[in-house]
Amino acid sequence: MSALIRGTIFVLDDNIDTDQIIPAEYLTLVPSRSDEYRKLGSYALAGLPERYGRFIAPGEMTTLYPIIVAGENFGCGSSREHAPIALGAAGVKAVVAQSYARIFFRNCAATGELYPWESQNRLCDEFKTGQEVSLDFAHNQLVNHTLNQVYELKPLGEVGPVIDAGGLFAYARQTGMISRS
């Protein structure tokens, strides 16, 4: 597992659905093609209401925010694997949410794109977009350097090594569950 992720955060609230994460019109992009993977990332969170601000600056392909902090039920909606892939392609390393839609959480593990941390408290009401934070994997903590506060997170558990390996199939090959060929 990565020991530490540090950077600025993008803050969302409750019920951010997969249509907001990656609108349906971009689902024709094929993430296994490197050029289309990058393009998919450039549309991450393009379906958000304007009140959140821009996640990716005009003309850019990636975001300035490697960590997203959100409320309840992050990733609800359809079962599209494109949602965590788009966030990962945009440069997101982790999401810290109060809770997740189960399918989104599973798709994070299956694709190996990003770490779905769960907060013990409602952080989206305390944090603001652009604050400097670090995510400490060894101690299950999110440190808000702007506020000089430390927040406990629920352990990643068994999903951590799967994401570290690069997803479900890579993990299965790495652990000998399936043949490497």
pLDDT in tens, 73-131: 999 998 889 999 999 999 999 999 999 999 999 999 999 999 999 999 999 999 999 99
pLDDT at 65: 98
Backbone conformation region of residue 119, classed left if phi is above 0, alpha if psi is from -120 to 50, else beta: beta
pLDDT at 170: 81
In tens, the pLDDT along 13-68 reads: 999 999 999 999 999 999 999 999 999 999 999 999 999 999 999 999 999 999 99
pLDDT over 60 (residue 1) = no
Q: Which class does domain 4-174 fall in? A: alpha beta
pLDDT over 70 (residue 180) = yes
pTM for this structure? 0.94
Mean pLDDT over 126-137 rounds to: 98
Q: Which two structure tokens, joined as six digits, stand for 135?
A: 């995510």
Domain boundaries, the chain: 4-174
pLDDT over 60 (residue 2) = no
